[in-house]
Amino acid sequence: MLIIFVRTLILYGIVIVIMRLMGKRQIGQLQPFELVVAIMISDLAAVPMQNTGIPLINGIIPIVTLLIAQVTMSLIAIKSTKARSIICGSPSILIRNGEIDQHMLTKEMYTINDLLEQLRSKNIPNIADVEFAILETNGQLSVIPKSQKRPVTPEDLSIATKYEGIPLDLIIDGEINKKNLCKARLDESWLIRELNKLSVKSPREVFFASLDSSGNIFCQRKNDNHKEEAT
C-alpha cells in the first residue's frame, strides 16, 4: 500500500508540473492536439499508478515524450501561419452578414439547435440580432451583434471617462501583500492609518482589502458581511 501511495504522489506531481508547462488555458480553450495530449497523459499516468509491476520510469518517459511533442507543435504553430492552420485549423463563420451559412453548419456538424444554444449563452436570444457568429478553433463561439443591437458606450455618447486600472490586493486573509504596496508606492504605515479610519485596528482583522486606480479602498473584515469603502 505504501508503494502505491508513493508512486501515486510522484506521478501526480509530475503530471501537475507537465500540465503547468503546457500553459494556463482551461480545458474549453485547448486546441484539439492539446486536448489529445492531456487525455493521453492522464491515461499514461493511470497505468503505472495502478499496476506496481510496471516500472515507474515506463510511465514517466512517455509522459515527458508527449510534453516535448506538444511544446514542439506549439512552437511550430507560433512560428508558421501555414502550420498553425494545419495543426489548429481555421475559424469558421456560421453567420455572415446576418445570414446563417447552412453549408458551414453541415461542414462543422453544428446543428441549428447548437447554434441557438450558444447564442443564448452569450445573452443573445434572437438570432436576427447577430451580424457575425464565428466558431473558433477551440470550439468557442464568438458573436458580433448588429451595430443597432450593441450596448451603448460612453464613446457613443461622447462622454469622457477616467482611466480604470486593475485594483491591487493589499490584504488577503489577514496577510499584507507587500509587493502590491510597493507597486502603489505606499507602505504599511499608510495602510495601517487607512484601516484605522475604517475602525480596523489590525490587518489581521481583515479578510480582504484592495486599492483601485482612483485611490479608493475596499475592506471587508473576517467573519463579517459588512464591508467598508474609503477614499
Query: pLDDT (tens digit, 9 = 90+) per residue, 18-34?
Result: 877 776 665 555 667 77
Give me 95's grid cell.
453567420
Coil, strand or helix at 227: strand
Closest Cα to residue 132, out of 141, 140, 195? 141
| Residue 79: HSE in the Cβ half-sphere, 13 Å Cα cutoff | 6
Residue 162 pLDDT > 90: no
DSSP 100-151: E-HHHHHHTT--HHHHHHHHHHTT---GGGEEEEEE-TTSPEEEEE-GGGSP
What domains lie within the chain, and their CATH numbers? 2-86 (no CATH), 92-149 (3.30.240.20), 168-230 (3.30.240.20)
Q: Is the pTM of this model over 0.75?
A: no
Find, among 99, 102, 158, 155, the residue nearest to 127 by Cα: 99
Do the strands 92-96 and 99-100 form a parallel or antiparallel pair, or are they unpaired? antiparallel
DSSP3 helix / strand / coil % (the chain, rounded to 5): 50, 15, 35
- At 183-219, the pLDDT tens digits run 999 999 999 999 999 999 999 999 999 999 888 999 9
pLDDT, tens digit, 9 for 90 and up, residues 108-132: 999 999 999 999 999 999 999 999 9
The three cell numbers locating residue 61:
518517459
230: pLDDT confidence band, cut at 50, 70 and 90?
low
